A and B are shown apart, each in its own frame.
Chain A
Amino acid sequence: MTNIAVVGAGTMGTMHAASCRALPGATLAWVVDEDPERAASLAAPTTARATADLAEALADPALDAVILAVPTPSHRALTERAAAAGKHVFCEKPIALTLDDARAMTAACERAGVRFMVGHVVRFFPEYARIGALLDAGSVGEVGVVRASRVNAYPFVGRGWYSDFAWSGGPILDMMIHDLDTLRWYFGEIARVYARGLSYTPHRAAVDYALAIVRFANGVVAHVETSWAHSGFRTSIEIAGSGGIIRHASDETTSLRLEQTAPAAPVRGVNVPHSPLAESPYQTELRHFLDRIADGGPILTGGDEATRSLAAALAVLESVRTGRAIPFTDGWPMLESQGLVSDIPVTV
């Protein structure tokens, strides 16, 4: 049994708390949130203790692991504290806003001898896993051109941190990083990227959007779309090869649809996809973390992988900001800036 503290009782923390409750190998032991009422409310239906003080949870010798579901700028400090306390760390994506922070987090966990996983959950979505298996089986021959898309409405959440570009990095760091990570998983390292978008224009306060062209070292060419300009969440991916096409679109594979005659209560918080599955991708992801803690095996989305995906997203941001293509060497982009630049350039 792994005793877990969920840190951050927002949208993703609530999701992870539900996974802890659903998985037989996990116990939700603590809920930590700077807002004690929020912590108490998420802990209430369980035996978990609620606290506003992370130190209290970390001091619990029975606690094995933490799940960090807090705004990205806090990831490094909390990871380092948890690792120093000897707790395994599961951290939401993106791992950090700078490559330095990401590497420091990975190093801290290595030094402390604790496991470190980053929540690149798309690799655990069964449709993306199935696509990976089809690719491994050579189902469409040599892959040529790929299109991946992930769109959503502009986030308006309670405390508003997603829509604060300096905290979230906008849709490129929040959403496109998923597809960059998944495509890296499928096709290996990136050779260069070029992108255009709205992230460094004044429009980003209400509409943010980007299009990237990614060339992989193995020759695959990919078009990646990310959006906070649509009315709801949907994803699609299409992989064309010499022997056929693999494609999936979330809005074409809806298994259950509800249409109510009276408008339901407005949805609050970040729009997270729901699909009626025997095990949610978030449970699958957490089960992977628990299993790797138990057997010491390699974690699919560990610190180095997450840092490389962060680097790819930073390269897309830099291309949007500078108008230049960004070349990569051994999977690492040649960046002017090793972290998120949040200022909008002043145009003369």
Chain B
Amino acid sequence: MEPLRVGMISFAHDGHASSYATCLGQIPGVELVAIADDDEARGRKYAERFSTVYYAAYHDLLARDDIAAVIICSENARHREMVAAAAEAGKHILCEKPLTTTRADGEAMIAACRAHGVKLQIAFPMRFSPPTIALREAVRGGAIGTPLMVKATNPGRMPPGWFSDPALAGGGATMDHTVHVADLLRWIFGHEIVSVYAEIDARLHPGLPTDDIGLMLLGLDGGLSASLDASWSRAKTWPIWGGLTMEVIGEGGVLALDAFNQNVQLFDDDAGHYSLVPYTGGGDPALVRAFIDAVRDDTPPPVTGEDGLRALEVALCAYGHEPVSCPDALLG
């Protein structure tokens, strides 16, 4: 059988991009055949690491007829341009989260993919994390009766580089970390988020040009309420990058998820603090596998552009940019 050839555009989101590249390498019949990155040093580094071809211009990668699909991990604000170009070139697309930085861009990306008949999947790996799947099955299986309230957190250390440049990221912590939980809430409970109250601020990193604190209370249609802490509040000495937790209070009990609690403890004298070292691959392998399956089988991707847009809208509403419905949100 002819291998499915995949290209990757930009390693700006390098942690996730290199994980996806590794995952591609584990799927039989799939080849990572090219990496495009306008940061030449970064692009060449990863092209060498994954034994593939480097392009400075992503249009040259898209011009290759043998490539059926691309994974785009550029800065958030550049997703639109690259997704539109990839769609025009007829490539199926796995796009890093968040979808983009504005609603108009998101709608344009979805429209471009539809017009050119290509699949657009958004990289929400938490949907593929085994503990998260188990939480969803327990909730849907009635383990705690009717869900009533949710307390969620997705805090992290502040990532380096463009993540705190509002022009490229579209915001700070709130843009970076709201969409995962927003997507999980929609996916687990099957309801849309219809109201957002947010307190947003920058207090933890002196001189930061964007927010590092994002606390939200969300209302879902059907009556469920959820809080979300999306802050870049993990100290440099915190033992792990951050995490994602979700405690669901139901009529008949409580379910508590700590999705990144599968670690061993490492006490390394040179580090100056102890570390938590994960012993699982999280959701990335299944995420990438699902995208490849959708391309090969010509089935709809399990996480769509619309899913990405709904989650983005929550972050935009938290910033006061987009009225999903911000009842009387008093923005900090």
Contacts and interface: CB of A to CB of B under 8 A. Distances in A.
Interface of A: 142-145, 147, 192, 194-198, 203, 206-207, 209, 211, 213, 215, 219-221, 223, 225, 227, 229-231, 240-245, 323-325, 327
A245 B238 CA distance: 8
A144 B229 contact: no
A227 B203 contact: no
Given A211-B149, A211-B225, A230-B254, A240 B217 contact: no
Given A213-B199, A324-B328, 20 more contacts: A142-B206, A144-B203, A145-B204, A192-B330, A203-B251, A211-B149, A211-B217, A213-B215, A213-B216, A215-B199, A221-B215, A229-B149, A230-B254, A231-B254, A240-B234, A242-B206, A243-B235, A244-B237, A245-B234, A325-B197
B203 A196 contact: no
A247 to B, nearest CB: 10
B251 A206 contact: yes
Contact of A147 (B204, B229, B254, B328): B229
Contact of A240 (B148, B219, B225, B235): B235
A325 B217 CA distance: 11
Contact of B231 (A144, A192, A229, A324): A144
B13 interface: no
Given A145-B213, A196-B149, A207-B148, A229 B249 contact: yes
DSSP class of A's interface residues: helix, strand, loop or mixed?
strand
B272 interface: no
A194 B148 contact: no
A213 B227 CA distance: 9
A242 B204 CA distance: 4
B205, B217, B250: most-surrounded residue (chain A CB, <10 A): B217
A238 to B, nearest CB: 8
A213 B204 contact: no
B75 interface: no
B217 A196 contact: yes
15 contacts: A144-B233, A145-B215, A192-B330, A195-B217, A196-B225, A196-B227, A203-B148, A207-B251, A213-B217, A213-B227, A223-B229, A225-B227, A240-B235, A245-B235, A324-B327
Contacts of A195: 217
B71 to A, nearest CB: 33
A327 B225 contact: no
Nearest to B203: A144
Contacts of B306: none
A229 B254 contact: yes
B201 interface: yes
B329 interface: yes
B249 A145 contact: no
Contacts of B151: 211, 225
B141 interface: no
Given A144-B231, A240-B204, A244-B235, A221 B213 contact: yes
B313 interface: no
A37 B204 CA distance: 57
Contact of B330 (A194, A203, A207, A244): A194
A325 B249 contact: no
Contacts of A227: 249
Contacts of A221: 199, 201, 203, 213, 215, 332
B213 A198 contact: no
Nearest to A239: B233
Interface in B302-318: none
B212 interface: yes
A220 B201 CA distance: 9
A128 to B, nearest CB: 20
B328 A325 contact: yes
B249 A207 contact: yes
B153, B197, B199, B250: most-surrounded residue (chain A CB, <10 A): B199
A209 B249 contact: yes
Contact of B201 (A144, A206, A244, A323): A144
A209 B226 CA distance: 12
Contacts of B225: 196-197, 211
Interface in B281-332: 327-330, 332
What 9 A-B pairs come out closest when comparing CB atoms? Answer: A144-B203, A240-B233, A196-B225, A144-B204, A211-B227, A221-B199, A244-B235, A245-B235, A145-B213
Contacts of A144: 201, 203-204, 212-213, 231, 233
A142 B206 CA distance: 9
A65 B247 CA distance: 44
A48 to B, nearest CB: 42
Contact of A198 (B148, B217, B234): B148
A167 to B, nearest CB: 23
Contact of A213 (B148, B197, B205): B197
A219 B211 CA distance: 13
B311 to A, nearest CB: 20
A213 to B, nearest CB: 5
B204 A223 contact: no
B54 to A, nearest CB: 40
A327 B330 CA distance: 9
A142 B199 contact: no
B254 to A, nearest CB: 6
Contacts of B215: 145, 213, 221, 223
B203 A142 contact: yes
A242 B219 contact: no
Interface in B57-108: none
Contacts of A197: 149, 225
A295 to B, nearest CB: 39
A268 B313 CA distance: 48
Interface in B226-284: 227, 229, 231, 233-235, 237-238, 249-251, 254
A8 to B, nearest CB: 31
B213 A242 contact: no
B105 to A, nearest CB: 29
B251 A143 contact: no
Contacts of B212: 144
Nearest to B208: A242
